[in-house]
Structure 1
Amino acid sequence: MKNLFYNLLLLFTVAVQAQLQSPAEFIPGYGSQVSYYHELENYFNHLTENSDYILKKQYGYTYQDRSLNAYYISTPQNLKELEDIRKNHLYQIGMLAEKPAKVNDKAIVWLSFNVHGNEPGAAESAMSVAFELINPNNKRTKEWLENTIVILDPCLNPDGYSRYGNWLRDVTGQMLHPGHTDREHMEPWPGGRQNHYAYDLNRDWAWQTQAESQQRIKLYNKWMPMVHVDVHEMGYNEPYFFPPAAEPMHEYITQAQKDFHMAIGEMTSKRFDLKGWNYYTRERFDLFYPSYGDTYPSFNGAVGMTYEQGGIGAGRAVVMSNGNVLTLQDRIDHHTEAVLTAVETASWQKDKLVKNFREYFKEAQDKPKGKYSTYVIKNGGKTQQLAELLERNNIQFTFANDTKKLNGYSYMDNDDRDFTVEPNDLIINVKQPKAILTQVLFESAPKLTDSLSYDITAWALPYAYGVESYALKNSFKIKTKAEVSYKGKLDFERVYAYYIPWNGRASAKTLSCLLKSGIKVRSARKASSFRGIKINPGDLIVLKGDNQNMYDFKNNMDMLLENKPDYEVMESGFSLEGGDLGGESYPLLSAPKVLLLAGEGISATDFGQAWFYFDQMIEYPLSIIDIRNVNRVDFSQFTTIVLADGYYDLDENQKDKLDSFIEDGGKVIAIGNALTVFEDREGYSLTRFASEADKMAEMERREEETLEARFMDYKNAERRSISEAVPGAVIENVIDKSHPLSYSLGNKYFSLKTSDMHYQLLKDVWNVAYVPQNYISFGFIGKNLKQNLENTVTFAVEQKGKGQVIYMVDNPLFRGFWENGNLLFSNAVFLVD
């Protein structure tokens, strides 16, 4: 009987091995051509159907309706206990209140591939990694899985991966072209790197502006892995990068996390040494900006790691600078070896990982690392949006339900001052499981250990949202509630008008809805008071008298405004103070007809941010044309043209066409390098220097620096070059609060500056927002640039004929998370006339 049992077991094992295929056996051309996304999905379905070591979890869809999937890989017994393992893990770090069933501790490792679509070696290697982990013939991996749960996401960006892969298949034939002068090495605009809206998903982990990020982080927060491996590709001449990471490293990165980095470096280097593969560590890829696939997990307790293989632009095969030919199969092999080594290291260090992970969360609450213990954000429209972001990140918060006088650090004043907590103000206590992430997102001046940073160096949410906020060193007692409560609507026998506060992105979306519905809307141009209502500049008014053709005015308006609960009903247009609703201080808004230019020379990500703003943030229609077709477009069909950051190679006839559009009453919103279309052109005031004397002074300064440079050494050249640079810093701006471009931004505007572009205050224009002398700033700014930014314009409006140009030196839509910038852009689109 026993022999029969073993014979049956042997037959079953042989049958499984026969059914389970490697990627090369399952996908024709695997390793020589990029797979279609459906082939990748089919392969993982094959694995789940033929192995009890893997389970599928679909967690969402992309904007193009491709499925987003994660796969749990471990022993069959562990997979049976998967939910108990997850709950026990969360319970141990304080993120689950009820004690679950007792299970043995496991190392939890999350593997992320292909957040950038045109880095296909990552997604291709995900199939190889998964196969080796569950391959019945691979005894080593089975040992690792005894104490390890692997969560594998083979493609974080299916839309970008498909865009790149489909293009590559379209332009390649049977023969390889490893030489550089072939179209398979010259990816066309916009490229496959980004998602559908041309957003860089690898910069979106914390902000979660994109659907892919929101759905993935929701699952991530249900698991809170101990190790996260983020698999990428870089320029094809680069050797492989694996941890340890480079400086600057955020001061909240723990020694335990650094120690695991070192263990990974030692283990992986041994594997690569044996195979003679080139690699490097501790260069370029730092751990500072909190919204990457390595830093975001790190601030959530994990050992977050970036893995980079040379491959971007390589196509199927390419000759590198050392004369070797790099193939797609090479890239797959390198990634597979490195990622499997990470899983092995996690399994080997399981006990240490579990212990360090739990201590991370305990110490974060018992001994907060940061200077402050409590944050208070004053109530307002943008505060609600901030609460939504906190909720997506699983950061706990409450709302005040009483009044209390306190003293704390004012973000807007950069100093301590007295303030009053009032009902509906948002309160965040640092003593919670997400303590570290909370402090990182709210720190005004992160400590830089090295000025050579890979990304932006300041990002504090109070500046991003433009909300009055305070940080306190201690907690305080006050009555709280779970949600904001709104006062009851004023009850009138008749309805004269509707009042809608202009206080955030939700206001712009509401205005979009009203205009699309044919509702006539007015905007306040000065402050006024009415019975029970105080109206501020920018606030919206819908008069019943303007909309007499609307059937059942009140019920229809209530339905249209159901997602804007802070609206109010008015019974009279007669003001107690200020202008009456029918006066000149309440002009009608017209529905803009918007054109956005796309195509070669324009930054794909900046174009995408503008497109996403209209299409998703406020759901307002716009037309998009390729810049190659600009001669075919009748500009008179539009009222507004948006020029995203980029280099516009317009000929004189095209520039004249743009001039005529503006003079005839059109509006152009130019962002970043798009300003060069108007710079130093006749009829426009945009120039770098306010006077010839200022220009000469700058030229003399640069000549003096050139002379001094003759005596400088070679090795510090890179560091000297950043004296004129700003990778990304928060900068104070004085604003003209009376101008429609600045409505509801607050008393001052903090801009996220990501380029060294600057113009001295312009003449004959409205300098609506500018950097003052002795301005407040956070993050790194090169010493020469820092001084030169004083008295430079950030946002300006120039009248030309019947129209205007809105100059945006900084991009207010940067990565979609700078919410006060989203509001400023809304002002430009709807309120500036």
Structure 2
Amino acid sequence: MACALFVKTLFLGSDLTLITMKKTILSFCLMLAFVSNISAQLQSPTEFLPAYGKQITHYHQVEDYFKYLTDKSNLIKQQKYGLTPELRDLNVFFISSPENLANLEQIRNNNLAAIGLSNSKNQMIGDKLIVWLSFNVHGNEFAGTESAMTVAYELINPTNIETKKWLENTIVILDPCINPDGYSRYGNWLREISGKKNHPELSDREHMEDWPGGRYNHYLFDLNRDWAWQTQPESQQRIALYNKWMPQVHTDVHEQGFDSPYFFPPSAEPIHEYIEKYQRDFHDVLGKNMSKKFDSNNWLYNTSERFDLFYPSYGDTYPAYNGAVGMTLEQGGIGAGREVMMSNGTTLSIKDRYTHHAAAVLTVVESAAAQADVLLKGFRGFMNNSRKTVKGYYKMYVMKNNPKLVQLAELLKKNNIDFSYADANVKASGFNYSTKSEKGFTIETNDLIVKVDQPKAVFAQVLFEPNQKLNDSLSYDITAWALPLAYGIEGYAVKNSLDFKTKVAIEIKEKVVPQNVYAFHIPWNNRISAQVLSLLHQNNIKVRSAMKKAVFGDVIIEAGGLLVSKADNPKVVDFEKTISKLIKVKDDYNYITSGFSSNARDAGGENFNLLKAPKVLLLSGRGISSTEFGATWFYLQETVDYPVSVVEINNLKRINLSDFNTIILADGDYDLSDDQQKKMEDWIKNGGKVIAMNGALSLFEGKDGYALKVYATDDDKTAAEKESDLEVLKERFLDFQNAERREISKSIPGAIIENQLNKSHPLSFGLGDIYYSLKTDGTYFSLLKDAINVAYIPKDYKSYGFIGHEIKKKLKNTVSFAVDSKGKGCVIYMVDNPLFRGFWENGNLLFSNALFLVN
């Protein structure tokens, strides 16, 4: 009809017009017919999915819909970028004009070339803006993935002329579900417990998510805290692709408590000082544009509250420190199920949630496309100027040669941060992380060097800079993460970038093992040591560990060093070949040809303890922290690859504890009966070992026969209670509006704290002279009596990050890690969780000590 009307109008003109416009008429009619045909065929999510907006969509249905879109439209292209631990596909979808999609690889290279990360640039292809949209990093925030389908549809819908204009200069990279395993866990649960009718009232199980919940991935890690550390396979695969594209805008789509209004930028303080004006300005633009959309629909929203830009491992901060405008979008929805009654009396449906998200996300794309030139200029200035002007106080970071550099180098590679190794000795002066003071030192061959003059200058600074400026103590997350302390490495921050010879790698000489080996020595100095010991135990190889340094000719076996002798393993066929094959991953292993020690610590003497292979029981279930359990499970399954029996706490009564010699209690509230606690106590006395972390310590705190107490004496307890009573009386006169800020004076959102070590105890082996612990709450215990305080916070302790002034003074002379012997067994108390988020590398070694070396 429209084509016929257009032709009729042209016939009213001159013959010349008809001749010159003949091709235009034909092109217009063909285009209109094509659009009409595609529009009739292209189904919206509501048309394609029978329960869209009424029930959570199965992950395979999400994949089916995106396959349908890619089959039907030339505006969208799929790329599979990985697999989850449960073998679900991870996908992104490129959405743009056909011309842009045909030139994706060159557009990518042009973008990288503009910031010094590629040498391949095509002048014929103009600048394009790259906008990355991430949905559902938390599996139970499922309206994100639901909205991703609507967003994709609207972007490629032929009848939506506006979105086609945006795509002329913009590449949209859409990841519909970052966490398919968590999404599927939650989705299966919700569908299984759902009835025919919705239950908006809270007194229904669809509003009471069962343990462990769908928020987390397979290993129950919070993927939204894993962007920088990349401990999880989903993060590793996604960030590898992200760093190949380096977008100018990144949107992280979330849900929060169902009663909360929508949150969109600007973000809250604290905002890191390296976040630039152009990033803040675009947040303001988004705030104004989104508010117009939300105002027109009478939707509630808020900005500048709660969600800050500081901790570097979020889906908004990681992109921000890599030059993009990163942002969080938060829709109320957690706990809503299919529909929920809010406190204002209105109901919130799945359709409401994805509609709000889709409106906000499309506004991001629209606003970005309109400001493409500004965003490209700001992004390139951020990436290029930062390496020239070198933000921050320091221009070079030096990590002294240490076996733990292997893991640090892996982290830097994952984040595309340039580094090298010293190939000469140079005198220098710098800030020492352990002592928190300036001191002279020598840069020596094989020290790891990170210079800030590189494309990833800002992100390198953020990770290594000793003290980040915290302009608001009401932070959403941990406030310190200095990598040398996390890895247990002697590190220096240097003000000047020194010029000296470097190399790209450390040369490792291949070992030639003779046929007369008396024993192999495996140094105990990083996570690979624990991986090797795990492998040896699983192959029934007997292993000893040194209590003190022992010298065998040129071979020095350090405290904790492992010894695998032929005498302990007479049945091992072809001993030299078999053992060297098992331990070859540990390239600093050595061997001795005699058991005679030059310092009177012979291989067969009391200095070398025969290690027991742990038989591990790990408790799970309701009451136990999902993420802390997950961190322990991941450590056992992936970090050291050691067998573990995981048992739900409500099935503990069915377990014969004598089948195990090690029980691990992750942080949680353990509701054990008196009979169960008595059985565990008897099991410990008969040689069992318990590793208890955080909240699990309550099972032993103040109990008869255990040393764990908050106060060392009754007088200390009385004095503390008296002080607390006085504080309560003072608070009667304080105002209400500052109550939250006063409360943080008693809290630690996440800070790094110095610990003195009892270096002669196996729990401290390999950690170094001082252990810096990442403390994430205000729990503390006085130094224990009748137990070994292996790591404790000294009176004048050093720290990094925010610690409330009230709790700061109470931490003096308190214990962090201790061993309490009971009969033939023991309890290892871990006040802090050394496995927190899996990135505290020295904590991995400390936990390995507890699992393998403490007998």
Give the TM-score range, shorter chain.
Answer: over 0.9
What is residue 251 of structure 1 aligned with on the other side?
273
What is residue 726 of structure 1 aligned with on the other side?
748
What is residue 54 of structure 1 aligned with on the other side?
76
**Which residue identity lines up with residue 824 of structure 1 in the other structure?**
L
SS of the residue corresponding to residue 608 of structure 2 reads coil
SS of the residue corresponding to residue 329 of structure 1 reads helix
Q: Distance in 2 between matches of 1:324 and 1:4?
A: 53
What is residue 645 of structure 1 aligned with on the other side?
667
Pairwise CA distance, 1:479: 2.0
Query: Is it true that 1:521 corresponds to 2:539 in the alignment?
Result: no
| Contact preservation (8 Å) 1:424, 1:485 | no
* Structure 1 residues 80 and 587, CA gap change in structure 2 (3 angstroms): same
Query: Is it true that 1:261 corresponds to 2:283 in the alignment?
Result: yes
Q: Distance in 1 between matches of 2:121 and 2:446?
A: 33
SS of the residue corresponding to residue 710 of structure 1 reads helix
Pairwise CA distance, 1:633: 0.5
Pairwise CA distance, 1:405: 2.4
Query: Is it true that 1:683 corresponds to 2:687 in the alignment?
Result: no
Matches within 5 A, 1:749-828: 749-828=771-850
Q: 1:23-69, CA deviations, whole angstroms, 9 ceiling, x for partnerless residues?
A: 01111110110000000000000010000000001000000000000
Q: Find 1:559's aligned residue among 581, 598, 603.
A: 581
What is residue 227 of structure 2 aligned with on the other side?
205
SS of the residue corresponding to residue 58 of structure 1 reads strand
Matches within 5 A, 1:338-737: 338-487=360-509, 489=511, 492=514, 494-737=516-759
Matches within 5 A, 1:284-303: 284-303=306-325
Q: Distance in 1 between matches of 2:842 and 2:196?
A: 52
What is residue 159 of structure 2 aligned with on the other side?
137
| Contact preservation (8 Å) 2:35, 2:159 | no
- Overall identity of the aligned pairs, in %: 57
Pairwise CA distance, 1:321: 0.3
| Contact preservation (8 Å) 2:685, 2:824 | yes
What is residue 147 of structure 1 aligned with on the other side?
169
Q: Distance in 1 between matches of 2:175 and 2:512?
A: 52
**Which residue identity lines up with residue 347 of structure 1 in the other structure?**
A
What is residue 59 of structure 2 aligned with on the other side?
37
Pairwise CA distance, 1:652: 0.5
Q: 1:176-202, CA deviations, whole angstroms, 9 ceiling, x for partnerless residues?
A: 110100010000000000000100000
Pairwise CA distance, 1:566: 1.1
Pairwise CA distance, 1:490: 6.4
**Which residue identity lines up with residue 453 of structure 1 in the other structure?**
S
Pairwise CA distance, 1:588: 1.3
Q: Distance in 1 between matches of 2:51 and 2:463?
A: 45
SS of the residue corresponding to residue 587 of structure 1 reads strand
| Contact preservation (8 Å) 1:91, 1:100 | no
Pairwise CA distance, 1:522: 1.1
Query: Is it true that 1:28 corresponds to 2:58 in the alignment?
Result: no
Look at both structures and tell me which one has the larger radius of gyration over its CA atoms: 2
What is residue 258 of structure 2 aligned with on the other side?
236
SS of the residue corresponding to residue 404 of structure 2 reads helix
What is residue 829 of structure 1 aligned with on the other side?
851
Q: Distance in 2 between matches of 1:535 and 1:409?
A: 31
Q: Distance in 1 between matches of 2:534 and 2:679?
A: 28
Pairwise CA distance, 1:578: 4.7
Q: Distance in 1 between matches of 2:608 and 2:491?
A: 31
| Contact preservation (8 Å) 2:106, 2:121 | no
Q: How many residues align?
A: 833
What is residue 307 of structure 1 aligned with on the other side?
329
| Contact preservation (8 Å) 2:185, 2:214 | yes
Pairwise CA distance, 1:314: 0.2
SS of the residue corresponding to residue 760 of structure 1 reads coil
Q: Distance in 2 between matches of 1:565 and 1:100?
A: 44
**Which residue identity lines up with residue 682 of structure 2 in the other structure?**
S
Q: Distance in 2 between matches of 1:572 and 1:602?
A: 49
**Which residue identity lines up with residue 382 of structure 1 in the other structure?**
K
Pairwise CA distance, 1:440: 0.5
Pairwise CA distance, 1:382: 1.2
SS of the residue corresponding to residue 787 of structure 1 reads helix
Q: 1:438-483, CA deviations, whole angstroms, 9 ceiling, x for partnerless residues?
A: 1101122211111111000001111111111111111112222211
Q: Distance in 1 between matches of 2:122 and 2:370?
A: 26
Q: Distance in 2 between matches of 1:222 and 1:248?
A: 29
Q: 1:600-651, CA deviations, whole angstroms, 9 ceiling, x for partnerless residues?
A: 1000000000000000111000000000011110000001000000001111
SS of the residue corresponding to residue 206 of structure 1 reads coil
Which stretch shifts more, 559-568 or 653-662? 559-568
Q: Distance in 1 between matches of 2:43 and 2:510?
A: 64
Q: Distance in 1 between matches of 2:599 and 2:499?
A: 38
SS of the residue corresponding to residue 789 of structure 2 reads strand
Q: 1:383-441, CA deviations, whole angstroms, 9 ceiling, x for partnerless residues?
A: 11000000000000011122222221111111111222222211111100111111101
SS of the residue corresponding to residue 399 of structure 1 reads strand
Q: Distance in 1 between matches of 2:425 and 2:566?
A: 37
| Contact preservation (8 Å) 2:420, 2:449 | yes
Q: 1:706-737, CA deviations, whole angstroms, 9 ceiling, x for partnerless residues?
A: 11111111111111111111100000000101
Q: Distance in 2 between matches of 1:5 and 1:456?
A: 59
| Contact preservation (8 Å) 2:515, 2:576 | no
SS of the residue corresponding to residue 381 of structure 1 reads coil
Pairwise CA distance, 1:272: 0.3
Consecutive unaligned residues of structure 1, counting only runs of 5 or more, are: none
Q: 1:506-558, CA deviations, whole angstroms, 9 ceiling, x for partnerless residues?
A: 11011111111111111111012222222110111111222221111122222
